[in-house]
Amino acid sequence: MKTLNRFYIDGKWVEPSPGATLFDIVDPATENVTGKLSMGTTEDADRAVAAARAAFAGWSATSREARIALLERIAEIYQRRMPEIAQAVREEIGAPVTLCNALQAPIGLAQLRAAIDTLRDYPFETESGKSYVRREAIGVAALITPWNWPLNQIAAKVAPALAAGCTVVLKPSEIAPLDAMIFAEIMHEAGTPAGVFNMVFGDGRIVGARLSSHPEVDMVSITGSTRAGVEVAISAAPTVKRVAQELGGKSALLILDDADLQTAVTSGIAQCMANSGQTCIAPTRMLVPRERYDEAVAIAAATANAVAVGDPADPATRMGPISNRMQYEKVQLMIEAGIAEGARVAAGGLGRPEGLTRGFYARPTVFADVHNDMKIAREEIFGPVLTMIPYDSEEDAIRIANDSIYGLAGYIASGDPQRARKVAARLRVGSVRVNGAMLDVTVPFGGYKTSGNGREYGTEGLEEFLECKSVTM
């Protein structure tokens, strides 16, 4: 039984303030309680912010070279501890061991290295005639991260914030605390100056609300649901602080009529079901030419039925459990809603896969005969559920894809790169991937509409943590 009862504040491991509560750490593969986590109070948030504020003047004045040196030490230690990180992610959210080793742990290292590369060449001052423009650290940054890709989101916020010269207070998800503790240990071992990095666990409605409303916090960067993003923005408004939000999605995969159907559908299923469907940019709406719709549904159903669901510690497993009970129950309710709306279950459906009697396991589910006005086509499910929608023309496909309150990502399958570029230009989303392309952490990532404001990754991700000052001589 693990006990996580320390926060990292001002370069030291400290006990929570009086009034801290305990939260069960649950193994989603077995539903067993495997540990206890102390949940902080507003007083803990205040202590962390005070430490970050006191450290800001010194850290923001450091050289580019000093920041690069620290980030390189962090990356070196992170790489050494990746096996532990992968195991922690598997235990806390149930991601398969193969996914943890290949992506969940390494992507944090990729974010650290990308931030180093961006910082190395970034022009903090640019000339403009008799004037020049300086870009300076915005101040104390509160970073609120989710549980689904925990290390990616922690590193994607912490690394550029430190690179910019900001000091930070990290509030990781209480559902994924094990990897966050390792990350804080890495920051300590790397010699991060006291107060530059601070970490407090806590509920979003207590610690998160205090951080977002705190007058000594200059910006908040949150990755989470659209609901959580709205709450943070409202809480932050009275202090007029910057809020960067990476929120929900309901991304569409447009399979154009010149695509290889077998490849496009199987790739789409793999991307949708990866990480048990708990990915904000997952292509959960598959748009297929009407004349090939029945064929596409058959391919999708066969592919989903072949997904190996089971113990995340088993190397043969390709999909583990949903990360927590609340999310599992939401997924089941959404599958019920799809059935009630008249969608046809082509694969999967309600309940656990055959042979699994414990754990938050959901069945890889494919809905056919879906209309874009159905609940399952409009709301983010955050589980292994795909909706398949036929379209009559390229124009119709683009219209359906854009008919969403979300605008995080889009996917295109096409045999013609120039055609794909033209379609990509018309999608109202923050990023587009063509023909199964992988995530690129060197280019900006973020959403349109209710999928958020601001960008992460690359130059744009660094600039979220910078203020712009013009000086005229």
* C-beta separation of 319 from 364 below 8 A: yes
Sign of the Cα torsion 32, 36, 37, 39 reads positive
Annotated catalytic residue: which of 92, 231, 280, 463? 280
Residue 50 near residue 195 (C-beta atoms within 8 A): no
Query: Rounded to whole angstroms, what are the CA distances from 269 to 28, 301, 347, 409?
Result: 23, 9, 12, 16
What separation in angstroms does the CA of 224 have from each of 230, 288, 342, 453? 10, 29, 30, 12
Q: Is 15 assigned a catalytic role?
A: no
246 is annotated as an active-site residue:
yes
407's tokens: 């605008």
Selection from 51, 96, 60, 103 nearest residue 82 by Cα: 103
- Three-class SS state of 223: strand
Closest CA to 95 of 28, 184, 145: 28
Residue of 91, 92, 231, 246 marked catalytic: 246
CB atoms near residue 6 (< 10 Å): 16
Partners of 245 in the β-ladder: 222, 453
Contacts of 311 (CB under 8 A, 6+ apart): 29, 317, 320
What strands, in cross-sheet order, belong to the sheet with 140-144? 12-14, 7-9, 197-199, 167-171, 140-144, 219-223, 242-246, 452-453
Task: Please identify every residue annotated as catalytic.
Answer: 246, 280
